[in-house]
Structure 1
Amino acid sequence: MSIPAGQQAAAALLARLTGDDTPVETHISAVFIGPDRVLKLKKAVALGFLDFTALADREHFCRREYALNAAAAPGLYRGVHRLARGADGALALDADGPAEEWVLEMAPLQAPDFLDAIAGRGALDAALQDALADTVAALHAGLPPVAGWDSPGRLGAVLEGNVEAALAAGLPAPRIGAWAAAARGWLARLAPALAARAAAGAVRRCHGDLHLGNLVLWKGRPVPFDALEFDEVLATIDTGYDLAFLLADLDRRVGRAAANRVLNRYVARTGDAGLVAGLPLWLSLRDVIRAHCVHRVGQDGLPFLAAAEAALRPPPPRLVAVGGLQGTGKSHAARLWAPAMGAAPGALVLRSDEIRKRLHGVAPECRLPPEAYGAAASAAVRAALEAMAGQALRAGHSVIADATFLETEMRAGIAAVAASAGVPFQGLWLEAPLPLLRARVAARRGDASDAGLAVLEQSARRDPGPLDWRRMDASQPMPNEI
């Protein structure tokens, strides 16, 4: 163990209490894992970006870690303990003597339940991806906004700090120089949008280290843990930047489709379509951080650097609208096409059914009463869809709009959004035989659409008017890209 000499007695006690004499170690902590408890010791080290050498600071950061994480996963974090001498002079947990060390107690976790392990065995499926996005959306919703934060300025400081770290790690200086110049250009262009997001409440004291290794299945659902506790400034960020670490990790470990699905589910739950403006720079920064971290320890950071460079060269945005009767597979097609379309991690999919659920304050799978489908409610859904699409397109991010688009006015409206944003537009009309659509609608389970067979029959009798969109046979497999 690389435990500082002054903490050897504490480490020996924790090993006896847990039966673990080979703790899991990082450069800042040692985690002793027992059958019914986990005890985490913060190492008395100073590493430039943190200083745990003082006992009082180790107590503070144990308590801070508990405070930051306990609410997200009740029962996972159990409390903070003092190590002190008892009447017999032996070091013990919560003895009456003066504190000699502080430790954090957690419940034991099973290694296969960590989300990086789940991803590694190919089991981070669509349902778990949706649950993951819901978890992050709920986490961010529960955090209070931070007022008066200079979001562009702080991000600039992060950028410059990572340029220095990348060079110190030995990454190629010409490439780092070119990346830094491009990133600074992005930051200058994004500064007004980042400042506006901060003023609107998007900056919060976030998790700060939100990758798959810091998420675990706990009581059947994914929960975050091990939030960054030692630097309040570093963890006070735009919620979109917090999400970007997870998206970058998903893209690498699982694939672009998983990152795209989590992005779209997060936006479906939060309505925050504006976060896509920052994604090129945020994703690039996250990849540069990975690049210099792994390069410093002798691994190859160049693939991460290549990803960081690519993120700053997104293709131009476009708008695709997918319409047709219920059961034609519009949402399936949108999810299929989105990952390969536009800037990383793919197009923003704006589904009218999900927007309707969010406007009524429920999860996508919750059913709504008939009055939620009245004319006024449907007009609000259309307005929200067009507003979110326009916001994302003007920010440079591609969009797929997913709705029936049975009305001529709605088709004209979504085309006008593209024209207003100055981006190419493509309308796709999916169609299939009515018996097949009936079978598909009847087989739906856990879907955002509340439309049943009666709604399908009613829609099928409607005349959609003149159609100048490209017709596609939805009874056949869709092409992988459009």
Structure 2
Amino acid sequence: MIPTAQAETAEFLARLSGAVPIETHVSAIFVGRDTAWKLKKALALGFLDFTRLADRERFCRRELELNQPHAPDIYRDVVSITRGEDGRLREGGDGPAVEWLLRMAPIPPEDFLGRVTPDDALLDATADAVAAMHASAPLAEVDSPAVMGAILEGNLPSARNAGLPADRIESWATAARAELGRIAPTLAARDAQGFVCRCHGDLHLGNLCLWHGRPTLFDALEFDETLARIDVGYDLAFLLMDLDLRHGRAAANRVLNRYVARTGDAGIVAGLPLWQSMRAMIRAHVEAARGRDWRALLDAADAHLRPAPPRLVAIGGLQGTGKSTLARALAPTLGRGPGALVLRTDEARKRRFGVAPEHRLPPDAYTETVSRAVHAEVFAMAQTALAAGQAVVLDAVFLDSAQRAAAEHPAQATGQRFDGIWLEAPLGVLQARIRARRDDASDATESVLLRAAAVDPGPITWHRVAADNAAVMNARASLGMDGGSVC
């Protein structure tokens, strides 16, 4: 409900836009044909206070400042509502402001990502947009363990007041505190490594849209710097949790892996169980307070804190055998949510040269020296993720027996299970697949394949799997997996 004190402004905006407002708990958006006007409600809700006109102006300007760099065509300006000489309200004008508004471009309802069923291309583009936003975000100096502890404890009264079951709240709080205590040193180390930024702060699917066909972030959190000066992983975790709940683990896993492919931040997985759980708990009590169904969110909050043993799976084989396809199929069902981290040497090589995975590199990017460095980086990332408790899938040709031996080392170093899968297919099939490739991280050509096929890989001790339509099923059997679970 719009506060009574703003009723006259709301009536004016309804006439101006020709529409009834779309309301959230803190705002009302009046969407016209060419313009949308966003009104901040004159409310005090504990976590924010918009009751003073001067503060509403300040937060309108802060929202514009935060969002315009990433959504310049959506966020236009801040405008005042004034009273004319005739006593009527008007947009702009020279008189004292009666109200302050954000002027924005209208977004078609069907273009909000909360209403879109994303395909792989959209998931990748969404992860790219988040990675780009984080790359440009100002660094912040905070004590992440302390901030996470304050957010955790601060949400417990809200959960109780919203009517969530008391026993579930206390059980969750006990598990969350234990997880925070376990990972606190890692979070502090990430602070020192520069992973804490002025982030979006409210990065769920409802705050992303398709703008000119591209996923675009908007509505960054403007009213609480503590909630926005956070580890980039806590920012991303809201999106991962939301994707997992709405579209399934495979969607969340795809975004995580694309994000890491662009950033190289394998250490992000250390905080994901707690971060996703906290995001789910916060959303659960918010939905409960609105009178909506909260049960799936509370279940998700619990599930993200349940341990699952990590493991390392390496997938090798000639170019075109479908290593990446198999890796993506297996990853969502390996280990804890949102599934295994897929580390692909093709993507690591592109990241090393500062280009997108689909960008083709020249031959000098494929020297032996570069390849050794790429493999070493991927193996180090695998060890980092395994040590943090996340399952990992390595994706590379692994034509050299020394590389295959090195691929096992991260599992040995962390005491985790290792399995290798070697994909095989007739040469003609592989040539046809390479000819059909589009927008792939691999730059392999038929000539590269033929040279590789002429090399003796030595003894293959990994599980040998035919790279055909039954590859996923047979690989799962080789790994001791049944249904959607892991052994």
Quickly name the TM-score band, shorter chain normalised. over 0.9
1:386 to 379, 392, 402: 379
2:46 to 45, 48, 54: 48
Q: Deviation of residue 394 (structure 1)?
A: 0.3
Paired residue type of 1:12: E
Give the TM-score, by structure 2 length: 0.96
Are residues 1:137 and 2:131 paired? yes
Q: Would you say how many aligned residue pairs link Structure 1 and Structure 2?
A: 475
Paired residue type of 2:15: R
CA distance in 1 between partners of 2:111 and 2:178 (Å) = 41
Q: Deviation of residue 13 (structure 1)?
A: 2.1
CA distance in 2 between partners of 1:394 and 1:304 (Å) = 28
Matches within 5 A, 1:164-175: 164-175=157-168
CA distance in 2 between partners of 1:182 and 1:30 (Å) = 37
Preserved CA contact (<8 Å) 1:257 1:339: yes
1:430 to 405, 417, 423: 423
Matches within 5 A, 1:368-407: 368-407=361-400
Q: Which residue pairs with 2:323 in the alignment?
A: 330
Q: Which runs of 4+ in 1 moved over 6 A?
A: none
Preserved CA contact (<8 Å) 1:320 1:400: yes
Q: Deviation of residue 43 (structure 1)?
A: 1.1
Q: More displaced, 2-11 or 419-428?
A: 2-11
CA distance in 2 between partners of 1:211 and 1:397 (Å) = 23
Q: More displaced, 199-208 or 445-454?
A: 199-208
Q: Which residue pairs with 1:90 in the alignment?
A: 88
1:156-215 deviation line (CA, Å, top 9, x unaligned):
011111222222222221222121111111111111100010111111111111111110
Unmatched 5+ stretches in structure 2: 480-487
Q: Deviation of residue 12 (structure 1)?
A: 2.2
SS in 1 for 2:310: coil
CA distance in 2 between partners of 1:312 and 1:5 (Å) = 43
Are residues 1:270 and 2:263 paired? yes
SS in 2 for 1:381: helix
SS in 2 for 1:300: coil
1:57 to 51, 55, 58: 55
Q: Which residue pairs with 1:287 in the alignment?
A: 280
1:228 to 221, 231, 240: 221
SS in 2 for 1:145: coil
SS in 2 for 1:468: coil
CA distance in 2 between partners of 1:386 and 1:454 (Å) = 27
Q: Deviation of residue 411 (structure 1)?
A: 0.7
CA distance in 1 between partners of 2:131 and 2:29 (Å) = 29
1:256-279 deviation line (CA, Å, top 9, x unaligned):
100000000000000000000001
1:305-359 deviation line (CA, Å, top 9, x unaligned):
2211111112111000000000100000000000000010000000000000000
Q: Deviation of residue 73 (structure 1)?
A: 1.1
Are residues 1:10 and 2:4 paired? no
Paired residue type of 1:70: Q
SS in 1 for 2:422: strand
Q: More displaced, 224-233 or 163-172?
A: 163-172
CA distance in 2 between partners of 1:330 and 1:27 (Å) = 47
CA distance in 1 between partners of 2:12 and 2:78 (Å) = 16
Are residues 1:23 and 2:17 paired? no
CA distance in 1 between partners of 2:295 and 2:33 (Å) = 40
Paired residue type of 1:308: A
Q: Deviation of residue 421 (structure 1)?
A: 1.1
1:103-155 deviation line (CA, Å, top 9, x unaligned):
00000110111101113xxxx100000000001000111101112x1100010
Paired residue type of 2:324: S
Q: Deviation of residue 414 (structure 1)?
A: 1.1
Q: Which residue pairs with 1:114 in the alignment?
A: 112
Q: Which residue pairs with 2:483 in the alignment?
A: none
SS in 2 for 1:475: coil
SS in 2 for 1:464: coil
- Quote the RMSD (CA, aligned, Å): 1.1
Paired residue type of 1:47: L
CA distance in 1 between partners of 2:323 and 2:166 (Å) = 47
CA distance in 2 between partners of 1:175 and 1:15 (Å) = 43
Are residues 1:318 and 2:316 paired? no
Q: More displaced, 292-301 or 67-76?
A: 292-301
CA distance in 1 between partners of 2:88 and 2:54 (Å) = 21
Q: Which residue pairs with 1:72 in the alignment?
A: 70
Paired residue type of 2:81: L
Give the TM-score, by structure 1 length: 0.97
Paired residue type of 1:405: F
Q: Which residue pairs with 2:140 in the alignment?
A: 146
Q: More displaced, 6-15 or 100-109?
A: 6-15
1:234-257 deviation line (CA, Å, top 9, x unaligned):
111110010000001101111110
Q: Deviation of residue 53 (structure 1)?
A: 0.8
Q: Deviation of residue 9 (structure 1)?
A: 2.2
Matches within 5 A, 1:138-217: 138-147=132-141, 149-217=142-210
Q: Deviation of residue 298 (structure 1)?
A: 2.7
